Amino acid sequence: MTLSMYQASVPVFSRMLENLSAILAKAAAHAEAKKIDPAVFVTARLAPDMFALARQVQIASDAAKGCVARLAGAEIPSYPDTEATFPELQERIAKTIAFVKGFTAQQIDGSEERSVTLKMRGEDVKFRGQDYLFKLAFPNFFFHITTTYDILRHNGVELGKMDYLGRS
């Protein structure tokens, strides 16, 4: 049995965004229980030259919606990147999940050879659809979700591997 581009993309992006939502919910609950201003977490970063948590979530969202749209040959929705609270980040994740899940297998399957061109550092970089998914979109997506997890864990939120991986 072969794995289709739809099966390799939409369920993975959806599941990890749902896990990210659950992680943020745990962080919000932790902030409330410990009487910590939630902005402390939303603006936290691992190092001075890294993006803060809110930007990590925004980039993960952009990676997911951009990838599935490009694979389907569809327009990528633009989100304003203004989220500054847990509820706003949750809303963005929910909107991204709905967008990603809105694609059908027929729209994405067969995109292995589709040409995907991105502007990177002012240059056009071309990918085949399959290479784009596995060599750029997924690594970028997972990096920013992992960094979000790490920021929260570093700041005392009780998270474990199963929070990242999700249940079932």
Evaluate whether 112 touches 9 at the Cβ level (below 8 Å).
Answer: no
Domain boundaries defined on the chain? 5-165
Q: Tell me 126's DSSP state.
A: E
Of 139, 153, 145, 68, the closest CA to residue 102 belongs to 68
99: pLDDT strictly greater than 80: yes
The 10s digit of each residue's pLDDT in 37-90 is 999 999 999 999 999 999 999 999 999 999 999 999 999 999 999 999 999 999
pLDDT at 1: 63
- Give dist(CA 129, CA 140) in Å, integer: 15
Question: Quick one: average pLDDT of 146-168?
Answer: 95
Confidence of residue 164 (pLDDT cuts 50, 70, 90): very high
List all residues 6 or more positions away from 156 whose beta carbon is below 8 Å from its beta carbon.
30, 34
What's the topology of domain 5-165?
Four Helix Bundle (Hemerythrin (Met), subunit A) (1.20.120)
**Residue 145 pLDDT > 80, yes or no?**
yes
The whole-angstrom separation of Cα 129 and Cα 79 is 23
Mean pLDDT of the chain: 96
Residue 21 and residue 18: Cα distance in Å, rounded? 5
